[in-house]
Structure 1
Amino acid sequence: MIKFPEHFMWGAATSAPQSEGYSLSYGKSASTWDKWFEMQPDKFNSNQGPDTASDTYRLYREDVENMQKIGLNSFRTSIAWTRLIPDGKHVNQVAVDFYRDYFKCLRDAGITPIINLFHFDMPWWLMEKGGWETRESVEAFACYAKTAFELFGDLVDRWTTFNEPIVHIECGYLTGYHYPDIVDFKKAVQVGYHTLMAHTAAVAEFKKVKPDGQIGIILNITPAYAKSDAPEDLAAKQNADLLLAKSFLDPTVLGVIPGALVTLLKQHELLPKTKKDDRQLIADNCVDFIGVNYYQPLRVQAPEKPQFPAQTPGDLYANYIWPERKINPYRGWEIYPEALYDVAMMMKNEYRNIPWYVSENGMGVADEERFMGEDGQIQDDYRIEFMQAHLTQLHRAIEAGSSCFGYHTWTFNDCWSWLNGYRNRYGFYRVDLAHGAKRAMKKSGRWYRELSANNGF
């Protein structure tokens, strides 16, 4: 029996834009996803836009009951900025009532809410001004964060500012998977810097409003694995680590932007615009904990023909396919549980063993109806095996002294997933879109209930 520490958090995660639905109803204004779907619906899988979510806005009480059925003692979701403050100035009382009741239901059920502020859903009114490209976004986010802390701080003790900030930077400004769908390395760095400062400003507001609470940030982290020990491959690894891990880990946990990252950006003429007090603000506003999203390892090698100065990250490191990899064919992602141990030890050895938890880990599979048993339940043994393998590595790291306090899967209900819509399913509960978003527990839900009850497996 693999046993986890007492009071370990067993939970799941989702986000407002991926679960709530009613994306332009009940006072909510448009996000970049709403407008992008309006402008280019052909980009979205099966014409599934952000209104095609899991109907949590209507069914959240049922969802909380279902959480209890599979043993969740904690749950992460987000607040939709566009629902709470639709015009950036005035609070939407309908949204306040919804979120307060939602969070109260969680607490009354013995489920600790961890509430995130931003999950890729930039308000359109702010995007029209430049979004994260403009310094105005920092002040706007701080105002939104302060409002949320004041309105819900009596119900929520644990908060996070951003989910995977590297993703909206990369996907929006380098790879075309998020709006504004452009390739501009210089803008990407500026967007990253303003995101960091928005996080910092939100932490500063949190300390004023709720000094007895805890605030963190959710980062998708894996140390890069080099193809070889050749100097050029190791340099690619260092570049990848600086851009994709240390860029947010160092300032949020250690209070300083890595000098090597500054040197790298300066060398390639990519330094962002800053303000003179920024460095001190970063130093003064470190987080209380970190959420780590882990799905796949990062394997890199030296790029073959890099441009100088770099025009994309591909000029600083190139992806490498490990010949021995095991693959999830539905996402094209490598399955490598051992990296979770390496992440855990990195948190222990390089980041003052700050309290952290696995904020996302999961396996997306398409056409899960193929695995439906005679009783109508999806037999997702592949998902159970995936969790067991990762939990084994996580337990090994905890035994070695890493300060992990919980494990959350992605996700609770099957949810809408950006351009991919419902192509791949991740949930403990199947969502039947053709029949009023009806929920049905999968086999993995039964297994997770036993996991939580036994505090191990």
Structure 2
Amino acid sequence: MFRFPEGFVWGTATAAYQIEGAARDDGRTPSIWDTFAATPGAVRNGDTGEIACDHYHRLDPDLDLIARLGVGAYRFSISWPRIVPEPGQVNQKGLDFYRRLVDGLHERGVTPYATLYHWDLPQYLEDEGGWVERATAERFAEYADIVHEALADGVAHYTTLNEPWVSAWLGYGYGWHAPGRAEPAAALAATHHLLLGHGLAAEAIRRRDPSAQVGITLNLAPVGPATADPADQAAADRMDGQLNRLFLDPVLRGAYPADVVELYRPVSDFAFVQDGDLATIAAPLDFLGVNYYRPNLAAAEPPGADPVAAGLRLPPGVPVTAMDWPIQPDGLTELLLRLRREYGPVPLYITENGAAFHDYLDPAGRVEDPERIAYLDAHLRAAHTAIGEGVDLRGYFVWSFLDNFEWAEGYSKRFGLIYVEYGSQRRVPKASAGWYRDVIRANGPA
């Protein structure tokens, strides 16, 4: 075994809509994902998160499972419509659930890492325009303040947004995720207002507690050309701009990349950017969360086509996960080194890394998942290499703790360390859960 630095954080992660269920319980109102999942054809097999893993009603046994994994940290998200079910209304029962979650983690020796937004925008805000409207960023800061006031004595680490690229572009640009809009101009406005919401929420939390650790999580990927053709290299630059730099640059440099702004001039004049916004967005981070699953290959897209939706290619001869994502752990090392080289010494956490495979219960009642073990092992080695080359990487969270509702894929894809038999809600630790526990133990005190 190779050892990680002393104090390295070992964790696992989930998101509220993917596991909680209890969609109508204790005052919760619909999110955009409730509405989207109820739309015929939007989600595979018509699956919804109405029940999911029923985590809301199975909190204590699930926390026991987390403790048995041996992790030191658990990253979870908070359901906005469970906390603010109607404009101006605070739902104490929703706050009480997360209080029980946080207290239960501390009782088990696990540090909570709270994510304020993992894609479940209250539907009433979408009815008013959603993230396309500036007011949503302001409402997000108010919600962040409510959560922090309730949980400040139990939570020290806050991620404002999870993967704003997905919220903006899959939700508003391509229509593949909630709220199902396919409008590039709306995606650009949503991008800005999500990032503004991040900045405003960070301000709200730090006003109450300057010692709070506040960051943002971005889904990032190295991007390379599919061939040596200069047209493919230009396509790779465009894809990198839209996927990576459109978010990294304003957060860490205080400016949008000029080439991406020019790329989208035909659909937007960027008038939604107001004086002072970029300073708010670029307030110093306590950490940057990195979600890594795959690198991307880009090929020249047709004129006027989207650089990600139209230009993405699969590398030949590379093994893939059940999501058809290529398994290339060296891309993680490349990404982490790039972040240090181009954006400076911001502390990093890998807030998601994992893979879906075709898991099943065997006749003996076990779930053997050697592919996942090999995947996690290779990516941990890649992360260890980056640390050895000077990257300030402070923790690693496996995605995910439980099999769960995998967004537009419904329940067809299993990422969990714990197998969930959805009909009975029985939990079965996979072989990878034991493997991960052993890795954590091996990295304990010498």
TM-score range for the pair, normalised by the shorter chain length: over 0.9
- For structure 2, the 5+ residue unaligned runs are none
Task: State which drifts further: 447-456 or 269-278.
Answer: 269-278
> Is 2:23 aligned against 1:31?
no
Question: Could you give the per-residue CA deviations for residues 349-369 of structure 1, whole angstroms, max 9, x where no partner exists?
Answer: 112121111111111123x22
Contact 1:306 1:314 in 2 (8 A): no
2:427, 2:403 → 1: CA distance?
Answer: 9
Task: State which drifts further: 89-98 or 247-256.
Answer: 247-256
TM-score by length of 1: 0.93
Question: Could you give the per-residue CA deviations for residues 125-171 of structure 1, whole angstroms, max 9, x where no partner exists?
Answer: 10100101111111111111111111111110000011111012121
Q: 1:318 aligned to 296, 304, 311, which one? A: 311
Contact 1:361 1:409 in 2 (8 A): yes
Contact 1:189 1:272 in 2 (8 A): no
1:140 is aligned with what amino acid? R
2:83, 2:54 → 1: CA distance?
Answer: 18
Secondary structure (helix, strand or coil) at the match of 1:89 reads coil
1:183 to partner: Cα distance: 2.0
Residues 81 and 268 (structure 1), Cα distance of their counterparts in 2 relative to 1, 3 Å cut: closer
Q: For residue 421 of structure 1, what is the aligned residue in structure 2?
A: 410
1:37 to partner: Cα distance: 3.1
1:353, 1:82 → 2: CA distance?
Answer: 36
Q: For residue 365 of structure 1, what is the aligned residue in structure 2?
A: 357
Q: For residue 278 of structure 2, what is the aligned residue in structure 1?
A: 279
1:28 to partner: Cα distance: 0.2
Q: For residue 22 of structure 2, what is the aligned residue in structure 1?
A: 22
State how 1:84-163 maps to structure 2 within 5 Å.
84-163=83-162
Secondary structure (helix, strand or coil) at the match of 2:53 reads coil
Contact 2:117 2:161 in 1 (8 A): yes
Contact 1:256 1:282 in 2 (8 A): no
Task: State which drifts further: 290-299 or 180-189.
Answer: 180-189
1:26 is aligned with what amino acid? D
1:296 to partner: Cα distance: 1.3
2:363, 2:290 → 1: CA distance?
Answer: 34
Question: Could you give the per-residue CA deviations for residues 386-410 of structure 1, whole angstroms, max 9, x where no partner exists?
Answer: 1011111111111111111111111
Task: State which drifts further: 231-240 or 55-64.
Answer: 231-240
Contact 2:80 2:120 in 1 (8 A): yes
1:110 is aligned with what amino acid? G
2:229, 2:44 → 1: CA distance?
Answer: 41
1:272 to partner: Cα distance: 4.5
1:190 is aligned with what amino acid? A
Secondary structure (helix, strand or coil) at the match of 1:334 reads coil
1:116 to partner: Cα distance: 0.4
Question: Could you give the per-residue CA deviations for residues 47-92 of structure 1, whole angstroms, max 9, x where no partner exists?
Answer: 3211131111111111111112111111101110000110031111
2:183, 2:117 → 1: CA distance?
Answer: 23
1:326, 1:429 → 2: CA distance?
Answer: 23
1:401 is aligned with what amino acid? G
State how 1:21-420 maps to structure 2 within 5 Å.
21-38=21-38, 40-266=39-265, 269=268, 271-283=270-282, 285-303=283-301, 305-307=302-304, 312-313=306-307, 318-328=311-321, 330-366=322-358, 368-369=359-360, 372=362, 374=364, 376-420=365-409
1:321 is aligned with what amino acid? L
2:132 is aligned with what amino acid? E
Residues 45 and 228 (structure 1), Cα distance of their counterparts in 2 relative to 1, 3 Å cut: closer
1:290, 1:280 → 2: CA distance?
Answer: 17
Secondary structure (helix, strand or coil) at the match of 2:87 reads coil
2:132, 2:165 → 1: CA distance?
Answer: 14
Contact 1:11 1:72 in 2 (8 A): yes
1:28, 1:44 → 2: CA distance?
Answer: 22
Question: Could you give the per-residue CA deviations for residues 147-203 of structure 1, whole angstroms, max 9, x where no partner exists?
Answer: 111111111000001111101212122332213323211111111111111111111
Secondary structure (helix, strand or coil) at the match of 2:2 reads coil
1:445 is aligned with what amino acid? A
2:427 is aligned with what amino acid? R
Residues 271 and 80 (structure 1), Cα distance of their counterparts in 2 relative to 1, 3 Å cut: same
1:291, 1:177 → 2: CA distance?
Answer: 24
Contact 1:185 1:270 in 2 (8 A): no
1:373, 1:112 → 2: CA distance?
Answer: 36
2:342 is aligned with what amino acid? E
2:376 is aligned with what amino acid? M
Residues 263 and 46 (structure 1), Cα distance of their counterparts in 2 relative to 1, 3 Å cut: closer
1:8, 1:281 → 2: CA distance?
Answer: 30
1:59, 1:264 → 2: CA distance?
Answer: 48
Equivalenced residue count is: 444
2:308, 2:409 → 1: CA distance?
Answer: 24
Secondary structure (helix, strand or coil) at the match of 1:426 reads coil
Secondary structure (helix, strand or coil) at the match of 2:26 reads coil
2:93 is aligned with what amino acid? V
1:268 to partner: Cα distance: 5.9
Residues 222 and 272 (structure 1), Cα distance of their counterparts in 2 relative to 1, 3 Å cut: farther
Secondary structure (helix, strand or coil) at the match of 1:445 reads helix
1:184, 1:313 → 2: CA distance?
Answer: 14
Secondary structure (helix, strand or coil) at the match of 1:353 reads coil
Residues 101 and 394 (structure 1), Cα distance of their counterparts in 2 relative to 1, 3 Å cut: same
1:22, 1:179 → 2: CA distance?
Answer: 19
2:414, 2:60 → 1: CA distance?
Answer: 22
1:162, 1:407 → 2: CA distance?
Answer: 18
> CA RMSD of the aligned region, Å?
1.8
1:271 to partner: Cα distance: 2.7
- For structure 1, the 5+ residue unaligned runs are none
Question: Could you give the per-residue CA deviations for residues 218-261 of structure 1, whole angstroms, max 9, x where no partner exists?
Answer: 11101211123443222212211111111111222233323333
1:342, 1:444 → 2: CA distance?
Answer: 25
Q: For residue 426 of structure 2, what is the aligned residue in structure 1?
A: 438
